Amino acid sequence: MRNLDIGFQNRLNSQVSSLAKCWIIIGKTGNEICITEHDEDIIAMGKTFKSANAFNSANLDLQNLPNSNRGAIEGAVAIDGISENDIILGKFDKAQIGLYLIDWQMPQYYVQIWQGIIGDIKLNGQVFEFELTGLESQLNKNLGRKFSRICDADLGDNKCTINFENYAQAGNVIKKYSNTQIKVNFTTAPVFENYKNGKLKFTNGAMQDTEFSIANIESAGSAFLIIFKTQIAQFFNIGDAIKIYQSCDKNFATCKTRFNNGANFRGCPHMPGESIIYASP
């Protein structure tokens, strides 16, 4: 049970409410964005919460949110500090977020009612939706290894041990098609199937070290069309250098034949399935 200041408690018990919902978002780079759904800025907690009429959390169940593990908020990318490119670049992926109720008439009175992280992010034109995930979700992590036919390592990590760079191809951007497609040039044609579900990384320019998931690769005359799973930011220029990295389906046959890494396979490929139960007399 919370112990609130008696003055704050009296205001909460009054018939007229002057509470405003205020949010603090801490991005991956440590940048802090303070937003309020009130119609004017609020100065509280030593911070300025900017009024954002385009920010909507009306669908949140505030009474159950403190005990809930999920919710969603939406807004427009015109909100100060939240841009379309920042969302696409992943600056809000797994960002910390907290919800406060602040008395806008007497902002020395406030209370934090929820804290969590931003999960899935949807972007539809100029409108975004942040899925909110409570801190309790961090407890739903596997500890130790799982018994499975597929590998529990990620391609190129310490458990996998292979050198990821040996399964990459360098190239250059030669044309922008859309926010989900670019045309690139490689010295050697890639084996398309190996790079589906892989990733593309910009290795120079304004988007250096930014990565995006590859959905497909297609021939486009003497060049190649990279199709992404999601929108990508548009800060790159023609001629920027890129690398594409192979994916792994985590099956033993792939590990053994394509990567020659069967000795480090982190799964149980010979584990019997349900069919063995029905094989008995």
For the chain, where are the alpha helices, taking DSSP H only? 6-13, 84-88, 192-195, 252-257, 275-279
Q: What is the pLDDT of residue 126?
A: 78
Radius of gyration of the chain (CA): 25
Which residues are within 8 A (CB) of 272 and not within 5 positions of it... i.e. 6 or more apart? none
Domains in the chain, ordered, with CATH?
A: 6-139 (2.30.110), 164-264 (2.40.10.170)
Instruction: Quickly count helices (H) and strands (E) in the chain.
Output: 5, 15
The single residue listed with the structure tokens 């930011």 is 233
Q: Output DSSP code: residue 268.
A: -
SS3 276: helix
pTM higher than the cut 0.85? no
Backbone angles phi, psi at 279, to 5 degrees: -80, -20
Per-residue pLDDT of the chain (281 residues; tens, 9 = 90+): 567 778 788 777 777 678 888 999 998 878 899 999 888 999 999 999 998 877 777 666 655 555 555 677 887 776 777 887 788 778 888 899 999 999 999 999 888 888 888 888 888 777 888 888 877 766 766 667 778 889 989 999 999 999 989 999 999 999 988 889 999 999 888 888 999 999 999 999 888 888 999 999 998 888 999 999 988 888 889 999 999 999 999 999 999 999 999 999 999 888 876 655 555 55
CB atoms within 10 A of CB 5: 12
The single residue listed with the structure tokens 């954002």 is 52
Q: What is the pLDDT of residue 1?
A: 54
Helix, strand, coil in percent for the chain, rounding step 5 = 15, 35, 50
The single residue listed with the structure tokens 């594409």 is 244
Q: What is the pLDDT of residue 65?
A: 56
